[in-house]
Amino acid sequence: MALGNSKATYGCVSRGIHWLAVLLLIASFTLVWSDLTGYHKSVGVAILAVAAVRIVWTLVQPSPEALGNLPRWQHVAAKATHGLLLLWLLVMPLSGWAMSSAAGRPTSFFGLFSLPPLLGPDRALAGQIREFHETVATLGLLLIAVHVAAALWHHYVVKDGTLMRMVPCRFAKCSCGGHEPRAVGADVPHGGGSPEKASGCCGGGDPEKPKSGCGCGGH
């Protein structure tokens, strides 16, 4: 499978970064809820780096087109949600870093190195940033819940290939043998007979028989 995105699907780099960010977020929440603030901060620094790489990658790569014939507002909502999630991935660690700086505490990455303070010590400001950090964390969790619900709705209700085109490459059973998968609803040419409609890579059909089900057009 290709490293870069195409108009039809996410490449391995986008998928890998997406799921790495999800794992780091799970670690970050688990650590802070276990009162392991030092490790929470270190994982947060890693999220900042991953978010920066991801934003640059998203900007230089084509954005896969929405699948299916869904209403326009849903395409706009999906784009807006993705943009807000990326912004959130930046704002959370930056506000955490600012909070630690204002509290006069170091921001270390697992004891290997420390980031320079973003602000001078100011306890009142540290308290305000903390409230912001907590509130925005909660808003992000709500947004993630909407995002995950939408992904599951695409997979189980609409039954298109939206979720499968974000599955990490090593778990994606259906490969198009180096060819681009087709978007859902696109005509799949095959030797005569009535035209077949693609259902997105692995978005339908038997993954063991990817020839038509994954929209690879006979490849």
Minimum distance from residue 194 beta carbon to ligand HEM (Å)? 28
65 vs 209 by CB, closer to ligand HEM: 65
Residues that bind ligand HEM (CB under 6 A): 14, 18, 21-22, 25, 28-29, 32, 37, 40-41, 44-45, 47, 58, 64, 66, 78, 82, 85-86, 88-89, 92-93, 96-97, 99-100, 107, 133-134, 137, 144, 147-148, 151, 162-163, 165-166
87 vs 218 by CB, closer to ligand HEM: 87
Minimum distance from residue 122 beta carbon to ligand HEM (Å)? 15
Residue 125 is encoded by which pair of tokens?
């400001």
Q: Please answer whether residues 68 and 6 qualify as being in contact, where contact means their C-beta atoms are separated by less than 8 angstroms.
A: no
Residue 113 is encoded by which pair of tokens?
């190195």
Residue at 151: amino acid letter: A
Minimum distance from residue 191 beta carbon to ligand HEM (Å)? 31
Exposure pattern of 43-60 as b/e (b: 16+ CB <10 Å)? bbbbbbebbeebeeeeee
66 vs 188 by CB, closer to ligand HEM: 66
166 vs 175 by CB, closer to ligand HEM: 166
**Secondary structure of residue 78 in the 3-state scheme:** helix
8 vs 188 by CB, closer to ligand HEM: 8
- Maximum Cα–Cα distance across the chain: 74
Q: How large is the C-alpha radius of gyration of the chain? A: 21
